Amino acid sequence: LTDKLQNVFKNLRKKGRLTEADVKAALKEVKMALLEADVSFKVVKQFMKSVQERAVGADVMSGLNPGQMVIKIVNEELVNLMGSETAELLLKPGSEITVIMMVGLQGAGKTTTTAKLAGKLKSKGRKPLLAACDVYRPAAITQLQVNGEKQGVEVFSMGDKQNPVNIAKAAYEHAKKEKFNVLILDTAGRLHIDEDMMKELADIKEALEVDQTVLVVDAMTGQDAVNVAETFGEKVGIDGVVLTKLDGDARGGAALSIRAITGKPILFVGMGEKLSDLEQFYPDRMASRILGMGDVMSLIEKAQANLDEEKAKEMEQKFRKNSFGFDDYLESMNQMKNMGGLSSVLNMIPGMGSQIKDIDSMVDEKDMARKEAMILSMTPRERSHPEILNPSRKARIAKGAGVDMAEVNRLVKQFEQAKKMMKQMPGLMGGKGGKRGKF
């Protein structure tokens, strides 16, 4: 998926102008990418149309090449589709009790999310009470109690002999008496959507004034998650969605479809099994994830602002010919410094995170002066052909720069590392765009 997209954009980057045919070709690949990311066909079709309308005939912004312009439009439209601003869970003010009902299929992550949410609300100064309304799954009540305890949040339970409607009502009375201001109902799910489940949820809603019905869906289930959201939306009515298990391989296309199809916002995303792993949903991050490009957009923006096109082209040639040398290294270090440190740039490229540990030292001011001294102590030939640096040459360089051998060795190692990484930077410096890691 990602490789494919990158190929398209790489090809576009090489062209001076974007014709209608170019846009069409690019969007064809984007379409495939979206479908592979589990975005529903209906949504993809509509999306293609809006992008096409915008892209063809659009002015290419100065500082961006046509290919980057297409990326920008695709990205913006994805964000638009998911709702441009982050949505919030609506809570009543002060001591009034906000009732939140968690709904969803079995295993979607309701109980876990209930506890996570309680922790979040508690840390914001709310006083949440959890109610164990799943009386079907044997371990459900204990699970909620254990998680609630970990969060320091009280769990109201009446065992598994009562029906969920009565439990919810009793929990509400308890909340009123004990001055809780949020009541979260952890309800039961079924393996599949069924009438009993829907009826039970509707009954609770009838017995109690539920302020927010929050649907929990498993992002890993892709298209199914979208169908689930649609059905729950119709039969029970939902106010918002939590998309769980986004820490896994899910590409997140469901987020796009759910918003587009139900019209309801994604409130949070589950990023792991730990109780702290509940995050606010950011449409722009999700757009990047769906495109599988990391924060390529902001990378482009940053790079564009600082890199002189000509220099980049020159550098590209050098990578091609594999003649990247120490002079170029020095120059790129200076450029990187202007971009806020190499690591801040590399951080934005998926799969690069693990490789950047020592990199910031490369652009440390003091360090750079020493490096410059070492590089200037090299002969021009050593600078352009680093492979000839043998121990005696290194010793001479060390002496010339007033540093010890170890530091020269470190410089050479960092140089090799930088060379390798710059080659992998997709498109930025005109590198070859190496294999990408997992997002």
Tell me which residue of 231, 222, 163 sits closest to 192, measured CA to CA.
231
Q: Do 128 and 153 form a contact (C-beta atoms < 8 A)? A: yes
The beta strand positions in 170-315, using DSSP E, are 182-186, 212-218, 240-244, 266-270, 278-280
Indicate whether 244 belongs to the interface with Mg ion (CB under 5 A): no
Options 66, 67, 109, 292; binder of ligand GDP; rule CB under 6 A: 109
273 binding partner (options ligand GDP, Mg ion, none; Cβ < 5 to 8 Å by kind)? ligand GDP
Site string for Mg ion, 137-166 (x = CB under 5 A): ---x--------------------------
Q: What are phi and psi of 127, to 5 degrees?
A: -120, 90
State the nearest-atom distance from the C-beta of 63 to Mg ion, in Å: 51
- Burial letters 332-357, b for 16+ CB under 10 A, else e: bbebbbebebbbbbbbbbbbbeebbe
Q: How far is CA 261 from the centre of its chain?
A: 21
Indicate whether 107 belongs to the interface with ligand GDP (CB under 6 A): yes
- Give, as one character, the DSSP assignment of residue 239: S
Indicate whether 160 belongs to the interface with ligand GDP (CB under 6 A): no
**How distant, in Å, are the alpha carbons of 112, 139, 163, 197, 311 from that of 192?**
19, 19, 20, 9, 58
Amino acid, single-letter form, for residue 86: T
Is 245 known as a binding-site position? yes
Residues 77 to 136: which contact Mg ion by CB under 5 A?
110-111
State the nearest-atom distance from the C-beta of 410 to ligand GDP, in Å: 39
107 binding partner (options Mg ion, ligand GDP, none; Cβ < 5 to 8 Å by kind)? ligand GDP
414 binding partner (options ligand GDP, Mg ion, none; Cβ < 5 to 8 Å by kind)? none
State the nearest-atom distance from the C-beta of 252 to Mg ion, in Å: 23
**Angle, vertex CA 378, rays to CA 375 and CA 379, nearest 5:** 135
Task: Give the contacts of 77 (CB within 8 A, at least 6 positions apart).
Answer: 47, 50, 51, 54
Options 68, 112, 335, 377; binder of ligand GDP; rule CB under 6 A: 112
Given the complex with Mg ion, which of 110 and 419 has the nearer CB atom?
110
Given the complex with Mg ion, which of 140 and 315 has the nearer CB atom?
140
Helix (H) / strand (E) element for 99: namely: strand 98-103
Indicate whether 96 belongs to the interface with ligand GDP (CB under 6 A): no
Ranked by CB distance to ligand GDP, the top (closest) residue is 270
Indicate whether 111 belongs to the interface with ligand GDP (CB under 6 A): yes
Helix, strand, coil tally for the chain in percent (to 5): 55, 10, 35
Indicate whether 187 belongs to the interface with ligand GDP (CB under 6 A): no
Options 244, 257, 288, 343; binder of ligand GDP; rule CB under 6 A: 244
Is 86 known as a binding-site position? no
Binding site for ligand GDP (CB under 6 A): 104, 106-112, 189, 216, 244-245, 247-248, 270-273, 277
Which residues contribute to the annotated binding site for GTP?
A: 104-111, 186-190, 244-247
Binding site for Mg ion (CB under 5 A): 110-111, 140
